[in-house]
């Protein structure tokens, strides 16, 4: 066996092992920072109906992600089964979120899973790019709506004048409207220097906004239902979404894996009326259900996938 063929055979395995190791390391650091006793105590303080709603919302988040993954692999006409697309989403998204630089880490996972089905690298690249669009669309749309519809409360939350909050919301909505208008009117690719960019179709754009908004609403809803009892009356969900989205954006801008520390710090600044210990307790429960458990499942699925692929290769080679 030549060196090049040996490299082609071993490199994907090495990349997969590196991704699993990196995600496991992040998981270890996360669990080290989270006191299990505190999480358990906070979970005990959360009413059972709220826990059930939170768990249902977590399932909703990953169901939306899996559905969109199936849609985009069909969009690029990749020869991938629905089960494989769902598997890729359930593995790539939690690992990409935990490790950071989701387009690279999650993209590497998708490449490993899809290339085994004969999907071309260029099509995998399209899937990686398209997979990031709904979340960005949902974040921007919901933040704009919250700033416009609840400008007075949002201004108080952000410590800015009400007109400024409303103006920022209108500007954000105008930006999204301009993008949607462009997808409706522009059929051919757009050139940026030496790069050609093809916009999604109007149908896919509508799907991206709908599923992106659903994902953000479900994810933010998990934390909202976990907030200390009595704070929901003084903090409407639509206003809370603005604080949540800004905290998420700060975490993404920091490039810290999973936004650890940054997300919590911004929430504490934006929600000063909420007792810090109780808010952090709610965030711990939120992270545990929405991030830690899915990451554990993703690592188990990815490890199982690699073991299955390895056994399949041995069987076919025998």
The encoded tokens of residue 76 equal 């690029």
Please say if the pLDDT value at position 286 is more than 50: yes
Which residue did the predictor score with more confidence, 259 or 2?
259
Spatial distance between the Cα atoms of 169 and 182, rounded to a whole number of angstroms: 20
Contact criterion met (CB below 8 Å) for 93 and 65 = yes
Beta strands (DSSP E) in the chain are 190-192, 195-197
Q: Report the chain's terminal Cα–Cα distance, integer Å.
A: 15
Residue 192, φ and ψ in degrees, nearest 5: -120, 95
CB 106 within 8 A of CB 22: no
Better-scored residue on pLDDT, 153 or 174: 174
Report the run of H or E that residue 90 belongs to, with start and end.
helix 82-99
Higher pLDDT among residues 289 and 7, named by residue:
289
**265 vs 62: which has the higher pLDDT:** 62
Handedness of CA 243, 158, 258, 92 (dihedral sign): positive
User: Is the model's pLDDT at 244 over the cut of 50?
Assistant: yes
Ramachandran area for residue 277 (φ above 0: left; ψ -120 to 50: alpha; else beta)? alpha
pTM: 0.81
Q: What is the pLDDT of residue 158?
A: 74
Q: pLDDT value at position 256?
A: 64
Looking at per-residue pLDDT, the higher value among 276 and 225 belongs to 225
Phi/psi of residue 121, nearest 5 degrees:
-60, -40
Q: Report the C-alpha gap between 105 and 123 in whole angstroms.
A: 17
H helices of 133-254, in order, are 133-149, 151-158, 162-185, 202-226, 237-254
Q: Is the pLDDT of residue 173 over 90?
A: yes
Would you place residue 218 in the very low, low, confident or very high pLDDT band (cuts 50, 70, 90)? Answer: very high
Helix (H) or strand (E) holding 65: helix 48-75
**Residue 6: is its pLDDT beyond 90?**
no
Q: How far apart are CA 316 and CA 318, in angstroms?
A: 6
List beta partners, residue 197.
190
Q: What's the pLDDT score for residue 254? A: 66
pLDDT score of 70 more than 80 = yes
The predicted pLDDT at position 233 comes to 65
- Tens digit of each residue's pLDDT (9 = 90 or more) over 113-128: 998 888 998 899 889 8
Q: For residue range 10-30, list pLDDT tens digits in order.
A: 555 565 556 556 555 654 655
- Token reading at 293: 């458990």
Tell me whether residue 290 is exposed, middle or buried, using C-beta atoms within 10 angstroms of its C-beta: 0 to 12, 13 to 18, 19 or more. Answer: buried
**Residue listed under structure tokens 């991030």:** 291
Q: CA-CA distance, 107 to 111, in Å (whole number)?
A: 6
Average pLDDT over the chain reads 81
Find all residues with CB under 8 Å of 55, minimum gap 6, and list them. Answer: 289
**Confidence (pLDDT) at 88:** 94
Contact 97, 21 (CB under 8 A): no
């Amino acid at each position: 066996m030549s060196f090049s063929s040996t490299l082609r055979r071993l490199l994907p395995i090495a990349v997969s092992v590196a991704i699993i190791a990196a995600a496991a390391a992040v998981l270890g650091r996360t669990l080290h920072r989270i006191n299990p006793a505190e999480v358990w105590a906070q979970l005990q303080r959360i009413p059972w109906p709220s826990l059930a709603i939170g768990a249902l919302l977590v399932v909703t988040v990953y169901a939306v992600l899996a559905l969109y993954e199936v849609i985009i692999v069909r969009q690029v006409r990749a020869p991938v089964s629905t089960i494989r697309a769902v598997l890729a989403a359930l593995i790539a998204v939690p690992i990409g979120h935990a490790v950071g630089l989701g387009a690279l880490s999650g993209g590497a996972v998708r490449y490993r899973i899809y290339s085994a089905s004969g999907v071309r690298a260029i099509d995998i690249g399209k899937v990686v790019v398209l997979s990031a669009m709904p979340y960005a669309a949902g974040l921007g749309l919901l933040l704009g709506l919250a700033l416009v519809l609840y400008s007075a409360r949002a201004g108080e939350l952000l410590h800015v004048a009400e007109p400024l909050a409303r103006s920022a919301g209108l500007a954000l909505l105008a930006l999204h409207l301009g993008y949607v208008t462009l997808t409706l009117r522009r059929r051919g690719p757009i050139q940026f220097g030496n790069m050609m960019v093809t916009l999604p179709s109007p149908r896919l754009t509508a799907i991206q906004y709908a599923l992106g908004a659903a994902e953000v609403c479900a994810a933010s809803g998990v934390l909202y239902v976990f907030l200390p009892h009595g704070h929901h009356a003084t903090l409407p969900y639509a206003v809370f979404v603005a604080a949540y989205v800004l905290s998420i954006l700060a975490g993404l801008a920091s490039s810290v894996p999973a936004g650890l520390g940054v997300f919590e710090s911004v929430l504490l600044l934006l929600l000063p009326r909420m007792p810090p210990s109780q808010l952090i307790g709610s965030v711990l429960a939120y992270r545990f259900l929405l991030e830690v458990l899915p990451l554990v499942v993703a690592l188990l699925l990815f490890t199982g996938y690699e073991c299955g692929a390895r056994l399949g290769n041995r069987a076919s080679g025998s």
